[in-house]
Structure 1
């Protein structure tokens, strides 16, 4: 069953769920953040993103955007994701757009572990658009499974780009 947290949606009288996925990686937060800081890699690990069209030069600073294409051709949607908050080597919070379907807020948190390695926590919740209003357990399960795969892909990229002698 997906790890979710209930929260009250502002201005609405219902509770929606926040999908939370965690993964432990034998790499440092700095090694993982180096991949997050390279906006051109997002189509390699974010499930559903098929092409990065452009990345602002100041990515991943607050306000920076990466412009992406999501979904299969000919139904591909062009949109962008914007950095809402960043703590280098610790966390990245994005507004991920997918109009006309809406947008989501995605937060990635990197927690170093005392035994070595890092726990990656990925939280995602719809923020606007039709997807916000059709939330149900099936959608939450699909979102949860998608994010498990995204973190698996992110882990593969981090471990491929990190020499074994440098990993913690």
Structure 2
């Protein structure tokens, strides 16, 4: 089972604000390219979002269901990714002072992806979910407006590199 974690410079509540807005799904999930619909009761257990994956014109319509919603601690999703199958994604948020650590675990539960050796499955999910956490951090930290966010650090790094190039 692939597992990634990252420290966020915001509260767990800020993370769950982003997760609760189904329309933001393609903003933080790698591979999701657009939203088509969000159930009125999202993210209640059993609710669904409809999204597309891929790049136009090669888009596939898919769905993700919420299996568990326990803010500000945990969310469990069942993500359908045709033609690969379904994956269970668990997002866990642990407070650390005024910040938090966000973990994502993912594993295939149906379809051809279940036939892959775990080392290959894990490598693909770890790469993808590392970027997913990066994007989620931008959104959650950006809402909190605290200094020291991922975006602040990257901007400082870019400025430092530009000055070194002069």
TM-score class normalised by the smaller sequence:
0.7 to 0.9
C-alpha distance in 1, partners of 2:73/2:4?
A: 16
Aligned counterpart, 1:49 = 32
C-alpha distance in 2, partners of 1:69/1:26?
A: 30
SS at structure 2 position matched to 1:71: strand
Q: Give TM-score scaled by structure 1 length.
A: 0.83
Match for residue 88 of structure 2 among 87, 105, 108: 105
Q: How many residues align?
A: 148
Aligned counterpart, 2:123 = 141
Runs of 4+ in 1 over 6 A off after TM superposition: none
Relative to total residues, which structure has the larger helix share, 1 or 2? Answer: 2
Match for residue 5 of structure 2 among 22, 36, 58: 22
Is structure 2 residue 36 aligned with structure 1 residue 58?
no
Q: Aligned runs of 1:1-168 on 2, under 5 Å?
A: 18-113=1-96, 115-164=97-146
CA distances 1:7-30 after superposition (whole Å, capped 9, x unpaired)? xxxxxxxxxxx0000011111111
C-alpha distance in 2, partners of 1:85/1:51?
A: 23
Gaps of 5+ in 2: 150-166
Q: Give TM-score scaled by structure 2 length.
A: 0.84
C-alpha distance in 2, partners of 1:61/1:140?
A: 28
CA distances 1:130-162 after superposition (whole Å, capped 9, x unpaired)? 111123423321210110000000001112222
Aligned counterpart, 1:4 = none
C-alpha distance in 2, partners of 1:48/1:59?
A: 20
SS at structure 2 position matched to 1:93: strand
- What do you get for the CA RMSD once the two structures are aligned? 1.5
Aligned counterpart, 2:154 = none
Gaps of 5+ in 1: 1-17
